[in-house]
């Protein structure tokens, strides 16, 4: 029941703002469900893809998409996604690296803070410099491939602060953007067997109605409110990742320290 409730809350955030499927799901799967990092990322990919698949028809029906920006985002993000998944697979073969989780959390929290700095926002940037959009999307793809987060949070923050699109267009474009990345990531993780089917079904039990509620709430959201909600959710998600990775680092440090503490002291003979 608890996992279904968590899935509902995350899905409301996805339907309302387009973000949260990875940013919130991975910490929840790590801290509450107790899944290992690789399974948490794989399960979050499928969960996020399912939620976006439910939300996309609503935005398509009202043509709340910007197809050119979507194409440019995918042009840069898909290669980044492949690289991110390869990095996760490589590091998992030699044990989990919590420092990477901390760095991803810092990136997510720092990027979301742009919303609270008016001078850092340029709503006409993408319209005048669209050639840069694939390069800006590349690191988003890397983060998404490594942690399943970023496609929604960073993509939405990027489009809200640097494009001329309306909030509804931003959310609709970003949801479809995240759906494509989730489909690719889900297929790879399904093939690798890094998905927890039991936990996934529990999250989806609350997620399916939650994403519909989120979309209905988004219809009355203003630009300012939506930008603030997106930034706060992304900031909290980033801090959660920092806390998760930091806690693991502390545990590893204590474990190594305790090993050295129990080593027997061999007295040196005096010649």
Q: For each of the chain's 271 residues, which pLDDT tens digit applies? A: 588 998 898 888 777 776 767 777 877 887 788 888 788 888 989 998 898 888 888 778 777 788 888 999 999 999 999 998 888 777 766 556 677 677 767 766 776 676 666 655 566 666 677 788 888 889 888 878 877 766 766 777 778 777 878 777 887 888 889 889 989 989 988 888 889 999 999 999 999 899 888 878 766 666 566 667 766 777 777 787 788 778 878 877 777 666 655 555 555 554 4
Whether 182 is covered by a domain: the verdict is: yes
Residue 255 domain flag: no
- Start-end of H helices in the chain: 2-17, 25-31, 37-61, 67-93, 98-112, 125-128, 133-147, 153-162, 167-192, 197-218, 223-261
What are 129-136's contacts with CB under 8 Å, separation 24+? 130/68, 130/69, 130/72, 133/69, 133/72, 133/73, 133/75, 133/76, 134/72, 134/73, 134/75, 134/76, 134/77, 135/76, 136/76
Residue 268 within any structural domain of the chain: no
The per-residue pLDDT for 150 is 67
Domain tally for the chain?
1
In a domain, 92, yes or no: yes
Cα–Cα distance for residue pair 101/139, rounded to 1 Å: 15
Alpha carbon distance 187, 238 (integer Å): 26
Let me know if residue 114 belongs to a domain.
Answer: yes
Q: Which domain holds residue 127?
A: 2-248
The pLDDT assigned to 223 comes to 54
Residue 221 lies in a domain: yes
pTM of the model: 0.74
Supply the pLDDT for residue 271. Answer: 46
Q: For residue 17, is it within any domain? A: yes
The pLDDT value recorded for residue 138 is: 92
Is 234 among the domain residues?
Answer: yes
């Amino acid at each position: 029941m608890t996992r279904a409730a968590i899935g509902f809350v995350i899905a409301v955030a996805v339907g309302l703002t387009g973000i949260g499927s990875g940013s919130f799901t991975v910490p929840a799967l790590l801290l509450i469900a107790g899944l290992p990092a690789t399974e948490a990322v794989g399960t979050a990919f499928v969960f996020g893809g399912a939620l976006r698949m439910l939300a996309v028809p609503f935005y398509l029906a009202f043509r709340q998409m910007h197809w050119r920006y979507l194409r440019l985002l995918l042009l840069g993000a898909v290669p980044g996604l492949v690289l991110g998944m390869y990095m996760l697979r490589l590091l998992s073969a030699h044990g989990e690296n919590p420092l990477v989780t901390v760095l991803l959390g810092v990136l997510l929290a720092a990027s979301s803070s742009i919303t609270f700095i008016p001078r850092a926002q340029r709503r006409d940037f993408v319209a005048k410099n669209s050639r840069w959009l694939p390069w800006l999307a590349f690191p988003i793809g890397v983060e998404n491939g490594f942690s399943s987060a970023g496609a929604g949070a960073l993509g939405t923050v990027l489009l809200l602060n640097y494009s001329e699109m309306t909030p509804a267009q931003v959310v609709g474009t970003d949801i479809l953007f995240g759906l494509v990345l989730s489909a690719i990531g889900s297929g790879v993780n399904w093939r690798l067997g890094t998905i927890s089917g039991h936990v996934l079904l529990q999250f989806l039990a609350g997620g399916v109605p939650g994403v519909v509620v989120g979309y209905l709430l988004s219809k009355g959201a203003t630009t300012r409110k939506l930008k603030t909600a997106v930034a706060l959710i992304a900031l909290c998600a980033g801090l959660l990742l920092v806390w998760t990775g930091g806690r693991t680092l502390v545990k590893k440090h204590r474990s190594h320290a305790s090993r050295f503490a129990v080593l027997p002291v061999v007295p040196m003979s005096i010649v």
